[in-house]
Amino acid sequence: MMKRFEVEIEKIVAGGDGLARHEGRVVFVPGTVSGERHQVETVLEKKDFLRARSVALLESSEQRREAPCPYYGRCGGCSLMHLSPAAALETKRDILLESLSRQRISHDAVVATPFPETGYRTRIRLHFSRSGGELVMGFHGRASHEVHDIEHCLLASEPLNATWRAVRSWFHEDPTRARGLKSIELQESSHQPGRVIARFLVQSRHGILEFEKREPRELLEHAGLQGFIVEAERGGRRELRVGSPVVEHRLGELMLRQTAGSFFQANRFALDRLVQIVAPKSAVARWIDLYCGVGFFSLPFASAAGEVVGVESAPRSLSDARANAKAAGQQNAGNVRFIQQDAATFAESFSFNRDDIVVVDPPRGGLTRALRERLLASPIERLHYVSCDAPAFARDARALVESGFEIDALELVDLFPNTHHFETVATFIRRRGRRSLSGLDSLPPKGRY
């Protein structure tokens, strides 16, 4: 049964919700600010926590602002837009430090100079659905798969939005064109605004054939897409390629290509900073980039390293990485090897050396146990960890610290202003001579709030 009660928000936690307490249980309330009082209504009740929505703001915080996006609150893309940019950044720092402290690690974090809070995204993923027979195209709602009709995303550039409007109008002209489509990912070049490629996901292989019949090539002309790929969520490797589904990104002196569907860092302003943080200060014998994507954290360092090894499981990203190495030329890429493999499987049989420098940039779940244990058992002494999930990072950091590493540098890079997401870039070095738990509380990690 829905209950109404008043709460005071203690803090904002990983995921972006405000945390409060009510009758011995934790209550999570989205769209709130630390210190505020709200009247809330439960939306989900579990044994040890509740989810609730605010029905009245009783006492507001000075950190609150009017969100600049008309979709805010319904669209699930942003979760901290009701905070001033400075307060949102401070909140993210608190989330990172709290994630570490829950793993009994106390360490301060440098916060990178903030990037513009809008127009930064080079990749947006929009979904297709039907409501009352009408085609709906937009983002998922907060913690739901309901699609909200979105015409414009403030986080994306104006040219990327213009492409989205044109794509939308092509489907609105004839909604049967969207039959069987699940989503579209639009990817813009970070240095050539308006050069956009796309990846459509359809439900099944059959959906690819169906979509092909609807003359999707028209989209190149109509929406100015460079090219696109259509592939099935399930059903193997078959894909449809139209035009040239490739964009380029400038990274210092390098030009990196990305095919639709390959991963590339999504904030156009943050690319150089990310590379600078992990850049080696002196010559390196071997640079090992696990989860390497198209070579973002490996190719910029090829001239400083005797050898570079990149490992990536996605075939498309891997082939981009190889093409990027080739395009980078002999002078700095002849020493580069890209291997298509699961990172843990690679590490299992790879013979690491003490002077190897390893970069890991895993998906949200962090390192697998197998990879973590393999790295811990290896003789490496320096590891850069690039993370997009603070709790997963903190879990892995604890294992590293328990096994004799210490955090040498920790930087929060806010790649995703207005959302609760951010990137953490840490450098771990192996403590010499001892393998104690110094720097760690001896207590086990805290499980719950």
Ligand X SMILES: C[S@@+](CC[C@H](N)C(=O)[O-])C[C@H]1O[C@@H](n2cnc3c(N)ncnc32)[C@H](O)[C@@H]1O
Binding site for ligand X (CB under 6 A): 263-265, 291-293, 296-297, 311-314, 317, 342-343, 361, 363
Nearest distance, CB of residue 377 and ligand X, angstroms:
18
Question: What token pair was written down for 176?
Answer: 């049967």
Q: What is the CA radius of gyration of the chain?
A: 23
Nearer CB in complex with ligand X: 246/343 = 343
Nearest distance, CB of residue 108 and ligand X, angstroms:
25
- Residue of this chain nearest to ligand X (CB atom): 293
Nearer CB in complex with ligand X: 293/417 = 293
The C-alpha angle with vertex 170 and arms to 169 and 176, in degrees rounded to 5, equals: 115
Q: How far apart are CA 147 and CA 322, in angstroms?
A: 37
Query: Kind and range of the H or E element at 271?
Result: helix 271-278
Nearer CB in complex with ligand X: 192/368 = 368
Q: Determine the number of helices (DSSP H) and then strands (DSSP E) in the chain.
A: 10, 23
Nearest distance, CB of residue 366 and ligand X, angstroms:
11
Nearer CB in complex with ligand X: 196/343 = 343
**How far is C-alpha 276 from the geometric centre of its chain's CA atoms?**
19
Nearest distance, CB of residue 2 and ligand X, angstroms:
39
Nearest distance, CB of residue 266 and ligand X, angstroms:
10
Nearest distance, CB of residue 293 and ligand X, angstroms:
3
**How far is C-alpha 168 from the geometric centre of its chain's CA atoms?**
25
**b/e map of 410-426 (b: 16 or more CB within 10 Å)?**
bbbbbbbbbbbbbbbbb
Strand blocks (E) in 75-164: 110-111, 123-131, 134-140, 147-149
Nearest distance, CB of residue 320 and ligand X, angstroms:
10
Q: How far apart are CA 75 and CA 239, in angstroms?
A: 30
Nearer CB in complex with ligand X: 37/257 = 257
Question: What token pair was written down for 141?
Answer: 């709602």
Nearer CB in complex with ligand X: 71/296 = 296
Nearer CB in complex with ligand X: 91/317 = 317
4-8: strand order across its sheet: 4-8, 37-45, 49-59, 25-29, 18-22, 11-12
CA atoms within 13 A on the CB side of 100: 22
At which residue do the structure tokens 């499981």 appear? 313
Nearer CB in complex with ligand X: 376/415 = 415
Nearest distance, CB of residue 105 and ligand X, angstroms:
22
